[in-house]
């Protein structure tokens, strides 16, 4: 299995631009998670989906952030407009069931730099 696939691996953009991060979960996994990692705040859950439906988006910082999962094999996290404080590593992860009983697998991350 290829594991969780994220693209791009690195993104550098200017403040005000739209940024779209992409994720392909492991085939057959019903749960998909988006995390953000920074030095100041550590690893934070932004949103997670179950069967393509957003279940909890309480971690999404503000309206500039949006996430979609149009089908079981693809999800996007969009930031519009981007700001320098959005600079972070964004991880996508997936699991075959609730995390209390199932392992979560992380992708390699997208390192976002907003200038």
Nearer to another protein, 14 or 89 (CB): 89
Q: Which is nearer to another protein, 17 or 38 (CB)?
A: 38
If the CB atoms of residues 42 and 70 are measured against another protein, the closer one turns out to be 42
Instruction: Enumerate helices (H) and strands (E) in the chain, giving the number of each.
Output: 0, 11
Q: With contacts defined by CB under 8 A, how many residues of the chain interact with another protein?
A: 25
Q: State how far the alpha carbon of 10 is from the alpha carbons of 31, 55, 57, 66, 86, in Å.
A: 24, 28, 24, 19, 14
Q: What's the number of CA atoms in the CB half-sphere (13 Å) around residue 60?
A: 19
- 72 is an interface residue for another protein by CB under 8 A: no
Q: SS3 for 85?
A: helix
> Which residues contribute to the site for another protein (CB under 8 A)?
4, 31, 33, 41-45, 48, 50, 55-56, 59, 91, 93, 95, 98-100, 103-104, 106-109
């Amino acid at each position: 299995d290829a594991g969780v696939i994220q693209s791009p691996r690195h993104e550098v953009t200017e403040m005000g631009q739209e940024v779209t991060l992409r994720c392909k979960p492991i085939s057959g996994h019903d749960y998909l998670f988006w995390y953000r990692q920074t030095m100041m705040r550590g690893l934070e859950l932004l949103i997670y989906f179950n069967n393509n439906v957003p279940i909890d988006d309480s971690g999404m910082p503000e309206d500039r952030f949006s996430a979609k999962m149009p089908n079981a094999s693809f999800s996007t996290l969009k930031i519009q407009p981007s700001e320098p404080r959005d600079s972070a590593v964004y991880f996508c992860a997936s699991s075959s069931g609730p995390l209390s009983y199932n392992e979560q697998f992380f992708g390699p991350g997208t390192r976002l730099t907003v200038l």
